[in-house]
Amino acid sequence: MNKSPNLIRPKITSYPSINARNLEKGWQLFSKGLKITISNGQDTSLWNDNWLGDGSLSSMLYGPLKEEDYMAPVSSIINLANELWDFEKSHYTLLIELLRRILATPFSLCPNFEDCIGWNYSSSDNFNLASAYVLSVCDLDWIWKLKTLPKVCLHKLPTRHSLFTKHLLPDNLCTSYFSEETCRHFLCECPRSLLFWQKLGFTPSPPPNNNLIDWFKVHSSKVNTIHNIHVGTLFLFGC
């Protein structure tokens, strides 16, 4: 597949037809599911291209890139002689989970094999309609439109579990009840959290099917009131 997805993007006029608008929506969805599949790594930016499938590597760093590193290709950390990824030339310390993702990424030992575009949600890199459908219905734009204080992205709360995985704490246990302090525990399972919700005047139901996104969406949209305040508003500020 050609490495430039813009070649297949439909051209939209000033007054697009329904078909043209649908094609544009389809292209936007399709482009969200693309990543660069590494072969020789020579034509892919190490820091600015999406080759791990989670966005650019630079977006996962704290602080700016050095100017000399901005255009570094992925091949700069490939040691063909040893057939291994080589981080000795990197000026940055990456989180352990990022290092593991990179180490698990295959590359080609043939320098003539060029990088190409692949589908991020299939093991074969081929487009898969079922995964595209799942991608289309998992739209979280609604969360940023909620009427509350600046938000923290779901699963990015500084829980002890999250800080432990970043090697910032010696353990991942809740300091009060010695259970693993995940987002679910922190928001809706810890007895201290449950007491907090009760003092606000209501107790959120458990997450349906262990799904925190559905749990968050259901409670943030509640319109019944307590003390003339929408329950959804109380829930958002409580979180």
E strands, the chain, where?
Answer: 34-37, 78-79, 84-85, 116-119, 225-226, 229-230
Local confidence band at 36 (pLDDT 50, 70, 90 cut-offs): very high
Interval 129-139: pLDDT, tens = 888 877 776 55
Three-state DSSP at 235 gives: helix
Written as six digits, the tokens of 50 are 């999406």
pTM, 2 dp = 0.51
User: Cβ contacts of residue 132 below 8 Å, gap of 6+?
Assistant: 29, 30, 33, 121
Residue 168 has pLDDT above 60, yes or no: yes
Most confident segment among 90-104, 139-153, 161-175: 161-175
What confidence score (pLDDT) does residue 220 get? Answer: 77
Cα–Cα distances in Å, from 151 out to 8, 136, 142, 175, 239?
35, 23, 12, 24, 9
What confidence score (pLDDT) does residue 233 get? Answer: 75
Phi-psi domain of 144 (left: phi exceeds 0; alpha: psi -120 through 50; beta: other): alpha
What confidence score (pLDDT) does residue 73 get? Answer: 92
Which has more pLDDT, 13 or 67?
Answer: 67
State how beta strands 78-79 and 116-119 pair: unpaired
What confidence score (pLDDT) does residue 2 get? Answer: 44
**What phi and psi, each to the nearest 5 degrees, are found at residue 159?**
-70, 165
What confidence score (pLDDT) does residue 177 get? Answer: 80
Residue 76 has pLDDT above 70, yes or no: yes
User: Cβ contacts of residue 193 below 8 Å, gap of 6+?
Assistant: 185, 186, 187
* pLDDT averaged over every residue in the chain: 78
Three-state DSSP at 180 gives: strand
Note the helical H segments in 72-120. 96-103
What confidence score (pLDDT) does residue 74 get? Answer: 92
Over residues 128-155, mean pLDDT:
66
Residue 1 has pLDDT above 50, yes or no: no
Task: Report d(CA 95, CA 218) in Å as an integer.
Answer: 33
Interval 37-69: pLDDT, tens = 999 999 999 998 999 887 788 877 766 777 778
Over residues 26-37, mean pLDDT:
86
Residue 236 has pLDDT above 50, yes or no: yes
Which has more pLDDT, 215 or 117?
Answer: 117
What confidence score (pLDDT) does residue 144 get? Answer: 62
Q: Minimal CA–CA distance to 104: which of 81, 84, 126?
A: 84
Q: How far is CA 151 from the centre of its chain?
A: 15
